[in-house]
């Protein structure tokens, strides 16, 4: 009964079966729509787009000036959710869905938000450092700044590729599907190509490098059993369950331990068996939290028997 009750938790909780990729997409799109209509209002009231950037965007994006960035430290967080250009939000959200869905499938929903935040913060720090120490960058973006989810998306893309480079998508295609590293190569080529060909966009390359480094290190550590996002997940669970009954507010065991594994790109099980529903719910909850690679041999065998048709 305890397992079945968890399935009914509200959408605000980090309970089993939660799709954190979808929630990040919703948050990003909601903020984009809010900023877009705010810009429309500024234009309708004849205040002007420059005033919109001065009054609002300047306090949300990471400033290119290190001194100003230190005075507005919250921008390291807000910048990764601030996007106003259609091409930027569309591209970032598509790639977030692609790589985030794969990572959530392989490593569980508990990896998604911590890696998104960690990668974005490190990426924004790299941007500020690049503006400070790389000659010529300040001249290219004097008085400007950076905003967008590109650093966070890069962290997730590189993180899942480091974790499972040989994982294959579309396995029904000839050759067993497309290896993940090929999709990542295409993503890198498109992203870097855009930044090299767009005037002034070269200043954002340190940001992308920071996101890539953060994602790679984060998932390497998780493979070794060091879950850097454990603290965040526990705090988020406590906050989201603040008004839940005590029985539902107990932190699940999956959040208290790191459970990593190796992903070889093969399907975790086939439909051939049947077992008690409660046991299946427990295994599915584990997959949701830590991915299919966290299953033991016995749990995989249980799933083999779970869907056997009579």
10-residue mean pLDDT series, the chain (310 residues):
34 54 95 95 88 94 91 96 94 96 91 96 95 80 84 97 90 81 95 89 93 96 89 81 68 61 45 55 63 66 59
- What pLDDT sits at residue 300? 64
Please name which of 158, 190, 184, 153 lies closest in space to residue 169, comparing C-alpha atoms. 184
Neighbours of 192 (CB within 10 A): 12
Structure-block tokens of residue 50: 């420059």
Q: Give the Cα-Cα-Cα angle 64, 66, 71 (nearest 5 degrees).
A: 105
CA distance 223 to 225: 5
Helix (H, G, I), strand (E, B) or coil at 90: helix
- What pLDDT sits at residue 11? 38
- What pLDDT sits at residue 12? 38
Please name which of 229, 195, 23 lies closest in space to residue 111, comparing C-alpha atoms. 229
Structure-block tokens of residue 277: 């529903």
CA distance 273 to 267: 16
Count CA atoms within 13 Å of residue 239 on its CB side. Answer: 7
- What pLDDT sits at residue 305? 65
Q: What is the pTM of this model?
A: 0.79
Helix (H, G, I), strand (E, B) or coil at 179: strand
178-179 vs 62-63, strand pairing mode:
unpaired
Neighbours of 149 (CB within 10 A): 28
Please name which of 162, 140, 139, 148 lies closest in space to residue 213, comparing C-alpha atoms. 162
Residue indicated by tokens 């305890």: 2
Q: Where are the beta strands (DSSP E) in 144-277?
A: 145-146, 168-169, 178-179
CA distance 224 to 181: 21
- What pLDDT sits at residue 138? 72
178-179 vs 168-169, strand pairing mode:
antiparallel
Neighbours of 246 (CB within 10 A): 7
Q: What is the dihedral of CA 209, 114, 10, 19, to 10 degrees?
A: 50
Q: Where are the beta strands (DSSP E) in the chain?
A: 62-63, 145-146, 168-169, 178-179
**Cβ-Cβ contacts under 8 Å for 117 (sequence gap 6 or more):** 77, 80, 152, 232
Residues 91 and 148: beta-carbon distance below 8 Å: no
- What pLDDT sits at residue 261? 52
CA distance 125 to 94: 24
């Amino acid at each position: 009964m305890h397992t079945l009750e968890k399935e009914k938790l509200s959408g605000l909780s980090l309970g089993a079966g939660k799709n954190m990729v979808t929630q990040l997409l919703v948050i990003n799109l909601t903020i984009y729509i809010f900023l877009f209509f705010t810009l429309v209002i500024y234009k309708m009231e004849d205040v002007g787009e420059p005033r919109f950037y001065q009054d609002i965007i300047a306090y949300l994006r990471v400033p290119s000036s290190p001194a100003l960035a230190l005075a507005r430290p919250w921008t390291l967080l807000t910048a990764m959710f601030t996007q106003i250009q259609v091409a930027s939000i569309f591209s970032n959200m598509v790639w977030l869905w692609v790589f985030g869905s794969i990572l959530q499938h392989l490593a569980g929903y508990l990896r998604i938000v911590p890696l998104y935040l960690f990668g974005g913060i490190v990426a924004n720090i790299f941007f500020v450092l690049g503006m400070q120490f790389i000659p010529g960058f300040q001249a290219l973006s004097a008085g400007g700044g950076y905003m967008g989810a590109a650093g966070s998306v890069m962290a997730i893309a590189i993180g899942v590729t480091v974790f499972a480079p040989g994982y294959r998508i579309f396995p029904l295609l000839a050759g067993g599907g497309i290896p993940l590293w090929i999709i990542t190569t295409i993503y890198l080529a498109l992203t870097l190509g855009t930044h090299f060909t767009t005037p002034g966009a070269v200043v954002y390359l340190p940001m992308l490098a920071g996101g890539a480094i953060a994602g790679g290190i984060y998932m390497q550590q998780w493979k070794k059993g060091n879950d850097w996002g454990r603290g965040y997940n526990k705090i988020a669970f406590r906050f989201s369950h603040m008004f839940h009954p005590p029985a539902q507010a107990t932190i699940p065991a999956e959040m208290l331990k790191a459970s990593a594994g190796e992903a070889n790109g093969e399907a975790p099980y086939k439909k051939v068996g049947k077992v008690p529903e409660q046991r299946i719910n427990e295994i599915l909850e584990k997959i949701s939290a830590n991915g299919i690679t966290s299953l033991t041999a016995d749990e995989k065998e249980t799933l083999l028997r779970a869907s056997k048709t009579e």
